[in-house]
Structure 1
Amino acid sequence: MELIWLEDFVALAETGNFSRAAENRHVTQPAFSRRVRALEDWVGAPLFDRATPGVTLTAAGQQFRTGADELIRRIIQLRRESREAGGQEAATLRFAATHALSFTFFPQWMRELEGGASLGPIRLISDSMQACEELMMHGEAQFLLCHHHTAAPSRFGAQFRSAVVGQDALAPFTAPGADGGPRWSLSDTAEEIPYLAYSDESGLGRIVEAQRFIDRMPGLRTVFSARLAASLATMAREGRGVAWLPVSLVESEVASGRLVRAGGVDLEVPVDIRVFRPTARQSPAAEAFWSELAAH
């Protein structure tokens, strides 16, 4: 059994489509299909029902799915820990953080936690929520810092736990008009309003999508999408439409009058800032950090 077979299995289970899964795995579909079949031969049972319109898991596949993610993560983590044994890398804290928080929250958070005493070497990878989840699932990061809302879907199940480390909010912002008020107002339901949306990779997009603003406001028309809140903030500042943005990210633009709220507090979405970690025990340095976080 090979690790890539497990990763192929997860990709196909998530997409339900051989072509998309093969594309995500950067391999031709025939080669991908052969690897999936090799895994099924190793297990000794079919894992996917190919007769349905979309590829679905069999009963054996559902059982295998329960441990596949954790097995991948543990294998990669074991390999990394073995390589790092006895070296300085073993003391390095590896964080993944979504783009917005890596700029606005992470530096200050580290200063507060250190309190005059260094936490040791730190490695930060800043990316989309989807990419950060992959890093965590594969054991490439020990901690993930992200915005979180209970209504938004997450890939993290019982094998992960989290702690709230801050608060933020998502609110609709737009450029000011000639009178200083919002150029596009969500209170004007008769007007068609250009909407600046998050792409599928974005965790903030999941949170906004869960609020179903587009269903509630039929006048919203998507004209632009991007995975970064900073990109949407720039487009909103240029007068291209309305975007739901983290309040912490646009404080300076709001203070200078370059962005104004496009709606009232009823359209604001309170969110937690959470740090996630695997439930399984990690390196001594990572566990020491978690203890420090709990004490703080």
Structure 2
Amino acid sequence: MGPGNRPLDLEWLEDFLALAESGNFSRAAQARNIAQPAFSRHIRALEEWVGVDLFDRSAHPAALTAAGRRFQPLLEETLAQLESARIKARAAHDQAAASLLFAATHVLSLTFFPQWLGGLESQLRLGPIQTISDSFHACEDLALQRRVQFVLCHGHPEVPGRLDEAEFPMLRLSDDVLLPVSAPLAGGGGAMHSLDAAEAAVPVLAYSEPSGLGRIMRARMRQVFGEGSSVPTLPQGVDIVFTAHHAALLKAMALEGRGVAWLPRSLIAAELKSGALVAAASAEWNVPVEIRLYRQRADMAPAAEALWTLVQERPPGSGGR
């Protein structure tokens, strides 16, 4: 006996485990849904492949030999690893089917990303695209875990994030600005809530911790959201009345007249034009930001590398809003 010139059939391994569990050839064959003579041949073929008897057929029920007892846990582990490998291989295939994997913050996935991507598609065949829209912190996690190739987000030169600290390559795609805005007064005549004219604490709609825009605001507007000052002081103070990490939700609350929100101009261009939102402060309260694209540090799929090369060749502001 011996495995020298005999192939191994994985079905034999499942048959072995069925017999080891039941100790009865007939019941094990029934559980495996095959005829008992064929089942017995499988067990004998496996023993020939291993080179030793795995079952003591003189015992009732059939019992594992010392070799069989040693073989069983190793076989169970091997089959579990094979199943895990199969699942991971299928997942890798599904991921590879999407040749471009993006993570984009909520606001940019709604405003900048579609038009920017359309501009690239006019010059490059991109193939399947998978996009995950989430908070800035979650997008950073996806990049650090190498689950996406690119991250599209807002950034500020003086407020580095985890991708900057990890030295992920970055391109500035365009510029944006966070504008303090409010619903207008009834009948016009200015902002319902104004940082410049208020005598009492101003109601503010703020970004929560997972938000990249919130991280920038907390760093650049410390006199509003913490200690310190890098822009004009606000003697009357503020009252943070609502917090969220979706700029679109803060926009909805601002439209309802609930307070002042610093919103990306790319998100509120139509509302500013129609007068549904108006400036709540002078321009010195504005916070310039960048729209950035980060990529993985390691080599990526050919389609992803081609996109990065194309974006490098395009001047900032040549796509999107």
If the length of structure 1 is used for normalisation, what is the TM-score?
0.69
Shift in CA distance, 287/262, structure 1 to aligned 2, threshold 3 Å: same
* Structure 2 counterparts to residues 2-151 of structure 1, below 5 A: 84=92, 89=96, 92-115=99-122, 117-151=124-158
Specify the SS of the correspondent of 1:197. Answer: strand
Identity %: 48
Inter-partner Cα distance in structure 1 for 2:177 and 2:137: 20
Map Cα deviations across residues 225-246 of structure 1 (whole Å, 9 max, x no partner): 0010011111111011001000
Inter-partner Cα distance in structure 2 for 1:121 and 1:235: 36
Kept in 2: contact 1:159–1:280 (CA 8 A) = no
Shift in CA distance, 210/88, structure 1 to aligned 2, threshold 3 Å: closer
Matched, 1:250 2:257: no
Listed as ranges, the gaps of 5+ residues in structure 1 are 1-78
| Among 177, 180, 185, the residue aligned to 1:172 | 180
Inter-partner Cα distance in structure 2 for 1:288 and 1:116: 11
**Would you identify which runs of 4 or more consecutive aligned residues in structure 1 move more than 3 Å?**
79-85
Amino acid in structure 2 at the alignment position of 1:163: L
Kept in 1: contact 2:99–2:301 (CA 8 A) = no
Listed as ranges, the gaps of 5+ residues in structure 2 are 1-86, 228-232, 315-321
Shift in CA distance, 134/88, structure 1 to aligned 2, threshold 3 Å: closer
How many residue pairs get aligned? The number is: 217
2:234 corresponding residue in structure 1 = 217
Inter-partner Cα distance in structure 2 for 1:80 and 1:200: 33
Shift in CA distance, 88/129, structure 1 to aligned 2, threshold 3 Å: closer
Kept in 1: contact 2:97–2:128 (CA 8 A) = no
Higher Cα radius of gyration: 2
Kept in 1: contact 2:135–2:210 (CA 8 A) = yes
Map Cα deviations across residues 40-65 of structure 1 (whole Å, 9 max, x no partner): xxxxxxxxxxxxxxxxxxxxxxxxxx
Kept in 2: contact 1:242–1:262 (CA 8 A) = yes
2:201 corresponding residue in structure 1 = 192
Which shows bigger deviation, 156-165 or 118-127? 156-165
Amino acid in structure 1 at the alignment position of 2:180: P
Shift in CA distance, 278/176, structure 1 to aligned 2, threshold 3 Å: same
Kept in 1: contact 2:142–2:148 (CA 8 A) = yes
Matched, 1:232 2:241: no
2:161 corresponding residue in structure 1 = 154
Kept in 1: contact 2:98–2:130 (CA 8 A) = no
